[in-house]
Structure 1
Amino acid sequence: MLKRIPTEQVELGMYLQSMEGSWLSHPFWKTKFVLREPADLAALKKSGVPAVWIDVSKGHDVAGAVAPAAVAAAQPAEAAPVVVPEPTSPPLPPPSSPVSSPPAQARVSLSAEIEQATQLMNRSREQVMALFGEARMGKSVSAEQCLPLVEEIANSVSRNPSALISLARLKTKDDYTYMHSVAVCALMVSLGRQLGMNEDQMREAGMAGLLHDIGKMAMPLDILNKAGQLTDAEFNVIRSHPVRGYQILRDSEGVSDAALDVCLHHHEKMDGTGYPKRLKGEQISLLARMGAVCDVYDAITSTRPYKTAWDPAGSIQRMAQWTGQFDPVVFKAFVMCVGIYPVGSLVKLESGRLAVVVDLNQQNLAAPVVRVFYSTRSKLPVSVLTLDLSDPGAGDRIVSRESPQDWGFTHLDEIWRKS
């Protein structure tokens, strides 16, 4: 039986069903678990979450409460049971609950990784173009041949995920289809790490990301590369790419069930309005829910034949407002990967200066490393200065994200890529 209680009444032993308030304020990657650790209880009470829903049939009730039947609250819509069809392939196990941090590993600065990531991008472009070219000619795809590339991408992500992810965002409209797959591979690996997956699971997620859009190779080039808005008929053709990709991969060598699943279902939405199967909620596998977030983020932050790229921070803000599209737990973990202010974002500081984000601080996403270059007060460039806003001595903080287009800045990529 579910009951809504103020957060200050939460005690150890209660079963958390869901939490209210902004998803960014939630201290855990998922709900629906018994609260056992004092540190987790303290984090919840400091989080700003106003109230939670507890299931008194699975955990402790509020001290001194009357019989549950007398005080049972209506179950919130998002907690309604979902009928899950018999899976066609075994899903990856979800991360342990709650997850407070990703697995520990050595991390280097973005500037230290940028050169290796640049070289990897160039190699990736050639390999994926060859791979997709084979698919366009009707030949089968060998997943085994993709393994070394996925391994290289995963290694770069482990050193600094922002380097490769940010570079992949700079693809041109001409090589979008190929480099989009590389970007989604890197994003899937990073997101899998954030969700607590092991090494094998992260690489399987990366492989699924690399192959998720291979169905685009079965699309007519005049539609795929059209500069203007698609007609309804053309859009229906494009919407067939998940099924066409599934057919290509199904007939290929060594492609896992997980990669097939992501290819077929990365355009499904949590509210059931996606395609091709209109799956809803937990009918969508964890990997496909991850793929949906990674695919959309890279798409909207990249220049396409028919649109210019959105800025990274603005893209995160817009995605957070698309109720019903993404799994909120997966999306929150994704934000922890790329940041509230991803690398390349233009921000305004309290001092009145403009800066571009050049690296993240995982312990404080609101205080990244930035490179200051312009004064809004004098309307003039200033000497470039790198500041770690998490350092108390920095003496500044972000007050807003800014649109590069509004300021007429076209050189931000040069600023954050400079070592």
Structure 2
Amino acid sequence: MLRRIEPSDVELGMFIHKLEGSWFSHPFWKRRFVLEDPSDLAALRCSSVAGVVIDDTLGATSRMPDAAASATSPAPAQLAAHEAPLHRNVPSARTGFARAASKDAGGPPPIAREFGAARKIADRSRRHISQAFLKARLGKGVAVGDVEPVVEEIYGTVQRNPYAFSGLLRCQRDKEETYRHALSVCALMIALARRMRLSHTETCEAGMAGLLMDVGVGQLPESLASVEGDYRSLRQQLLDQHVLFGHDMLCVAGDIPEAVLAVSRNHHERMDGSGYPQGLRGEEIDLLSRMAAICDEFDYLVSGGFERPPLDPAAAIEALVAESGTFDPDILRTFIESVGVYPIGAFVRLRSERLAMVVDIDPDDHALPVVRTFHSLASGKPVRGETIRLAQCWGADAIEGIADLTDIAMPASAALQERLLKAACRS
């Protein structure tokens, strides 16, 4: 039975079915869960949540008298009208929930399963973010509610596996580059924020900033068709304008957090003062904008653009490191930890004279990822694919460097990445 109670009446053991209000008003990324931690209980009671809906069939029963509970319990139609649009399925019994929770408690899920979930989330998220960007192009304000479901789902997949979602998007190229870039930077920002141990609210704001920081591109008074959608190839005056347009547009909504507004204005600023639009330096740039500068530039490098071929993800890491003084060095080190020295999608040369692609990251050693072989340098021919966990092969093979595919007859790198990723998921 669903009951609506006040936050002050919540007790340990209750199954939280719904927290009323935006997730900026409470400290939890998930919507439905058993409340078991005393610190979570204290945080919930002190939050600005308007009300809490509990499910007595899945958790402890409220001590409210039945008559009072009935009076405050929302009608099914009311619940349906206020449900968030992208909820996960919840087991129908408390024991089922406990089994599901214990199954996921042993570490990140297998990469094949998480890539499958990431594909579904990416498809749903594209629809939401495309609608938000369409509103922006029409001159309408973009509100928190327009993108909240996207951030929530990406937060969930990053919570389960920090590498899968952004890695999948690096291996999937499509014509909706603006949306793909927004989703990818969102995932990178959330993974980086979690690695930096930022608070729940800061992590949510980081993800939202990644989604919305380029929303002003749609307002530029020039078609992007001539530069294949690569707005960075436009003249500097237009680059300045896209930042200002985006910031003004998000201000119109009225409920976008100040930290997200700051990122929309400052994500092209650089530590040495070489950025735009204000030429800020060092600590003058807010924390989330320093993070966004790195996440945005990394995805920009690996995506390619107008007369600019994409870089291998590992080469993009090297390029970021080479720009000494441009990015915050402490945040850059943490970013590399969050994506791996050899990120998913990177092509590497192995000691066994085989070429392989990185398909997963070992959370305990970012320099020893999981790879999928596809070519022999010795024979000059393709080889039967093998998935190798370098951290667990006891030195039988190792990465010697980034692979050079220039003189090898291969499909385009994007097509090869997607093919190898699918093969690794099937193995």
User: With structure 2 as the length reference, what TM-score do the two structures score?
Assistant: 0.70
In the alignment, is the contact (CA less than 8 A) between 1:168 and 1:183 conserved in 2?
A: yes
Change over 3 Å in CA distance of 1:105–1:149 after alignment to 2: farther
1:133 aligns with 2:138: no
> What is the aligned partner in structure 2 of residue 324 from structure 1?
325
Query: How do 1:12-161 and structure 2 match up within 5 A?
Result: 106-161=107-162
| Counterpart position of 2:387 | 386
Deviations 1:143-167 (A, max 9, x none): 1231111000010111112221022
Aligned to 1:244, what secondary structure does the other structure show? Answer: helix
1:373 deviation in Å?
1.9
Counterparts of 1:108 and 1:187 in 2: how far apart (Å)? 19
- Could you say if the C-alpha distance between residues 250 and 225 of structure 1 is closer, same or farther in structure 2, counting changes exceeding 3 Å? farther
Please name the residue that 2:5 is paired with: none
Q: Deviations over 1:228-273 (max 9, x none)?
A: 9989973321232111111001111310001000000000000011
SS in 2 for 1:347: strand
Residues 106 and 158, structure 1, Cα contact 8 Å, conserved in 2: no
The corresponding residue for 2:282 is 281
Q: In 2, are the aligned partners of 1:129 and 1:178 still within 8 Å (CA)?
A: yes
User: What 5-or-longer segments of structure 1 have no aligned partner?
Assistant: 1-103
Q: Counterpart amino acid of 2:386?
A: L
- Which SS does the other structure have where 1:161 is aligned? coil
TM-aligned CA deviation for residue 398 of structure 1: 0.7
Separation of aligned partners in 2, 1:224 and 1:372: 37
In structure 2, the residue matched to 1:415 is 420
Q: Match of 1:398?
A: 399
Contact 1:183 1:298 in 2 (8 A): yes
Label 1:288 to 1:231 Cα distance change in 2 as closer, same or farther (>3 A). Answer: closer
User: 1:270-349, aligned counterparts within 5 Å?
Assistant: 270-349=271-350
Task: Report the Cα distance in structure 1 between the residues aligned to 2:313 and 2:236, rounded to whole angstroms.
Answer: 26
- Which residue does the alignment assign to 1:217? 218
Amino acid at match of 2:198: M
Which sits farther off after the overlay, 231-240 or 403-412?
Answer: 231-240
SS in 2 for 1:372: strand
Q: Secondary structure at the match of 1:370?
A: strand
SS in 1 for 2:194: helix
| Alignment-derived partner of residue 41 in structure 2 | none
- Given that residues 171 and 417 in structure 2 are in contact (C-alpha distance below 8 angstroms), is that contact kept between their aligned partners in structure 1? no
Unaligned residue ranges in structure 2 (runs of 5+)? 1-104
Structure 1 equivalent of residue 17 of structure 2 = none
1:355-389 superposed Cα distances (whole Å, 9 cap, x missing partner)? 11111112212211111222111111222111111
* Residues 127 and 313 of structure 1: CA distance in aligned 2, closer, same or farther (over 3 Å): same
* Aligned alpha-carbon RMSD (Å): 2.2
Residue 377 of structure 1 aligns to a residue whose secondary structure is coil
Structure 1 distance, partners of 2:127, 2:230, is 29
Contact 2:227/2:233 (<8 A) preserved: no
Aligned length: 316
SS of the residue 1:390 aligns to: helix
CA distance in 2, matches of 1:265, 1:229: 19
SS at structure 2 position matched to 1:384: coil
In the alignment, residue 195 of structure 1 is paired with which amino acid? M
User: Aligned-pair distance for 1:304?
Assistant: 2.5
Contact 2:183 2:211 in 1 (8 A): yes
**Contact 2:350–2:401, Cα closer than 8 Å, also in 1:** yes
- Taking structure 1 as the reference length, the TM-score comes to 0.71
Q: Deviations over 1:318-345 (max 9, x none)?
A: 1110112110100111101111111111
How far apart are 1:188 and its partner, in Å? 0.4
In 2 relative to 1, CA 373–170 (structure 1 residues): closer, same or farther, beyond 3 Å?
closer
Q: Distance in 2 between matches of 1:233 and 1:407?
A: 34
Deviations along 1:178-235, one digit per CA (max 9) or x if unpaired, are 2211111110000000101132221111011111111111113524652499899733
The whole-number CA distance in structure 1 between the counterparts of 2:174 and 2:279 is: 29
Query: Is 1:351 the equivalent of 2:352?
Result: yes
SS in 2 for 1:400: strand
Q: Specify the alignment match of 1:257 in structure 2.
A: 258
Distance in 2 separating the partners of 1:313 and 1:248: 35
Q: CA deviation at 1:274?
A: 0.5
Alignment CA distance shift 1:396-1:192 (3 Å): same
- Checking the alignment, whether the CA contact within 8 Å between 2:188 and 2:295 is kept in structure 1 is yes
Separation in 2, partners of 1:225, 1:250: 30
Aligned residue for 1:373, secondary structure, equals strand
The CA distance in 1 between the partners of 2:260 and 2:308, in whole Å, is: 28
SS in structure 2 of the partner of residue 239 of structure 1: helix
SS at match of 1:217: helix
SS at match of 1:355: strand
Structure 1 residues 190 and 234: alpha-carbon distance in aligned structure 2, compared to 1, 3 A threshold: same
Matched letter for residue 387 of structure 1: I
Question: For 1:125 and 1:229, how far apart are their aligned partners in 2?
Answer: 19
Secondary structure, aligned partner of 1:301? helix
- Distance in 2, Cα, partners of 1:233 & 1:384: 42
In the alignment, the residues of structure 1 paired with residue 417 and residue 182 of structure 2 have an alpha-carbon distance, to the nearest angstrom, of: 24
1:107 to partner: Cα distance: 1.4
Question: How far apart, CA to CA, are the structure 2 residues paired with 1:335 and 1:230?
Answer: 26
1-structure distance, mates of 2:245, 2:234: 17
Distance 1:200 1:316 in 2: 28
> What SS does the aligned partner of 2:373 have?
strand
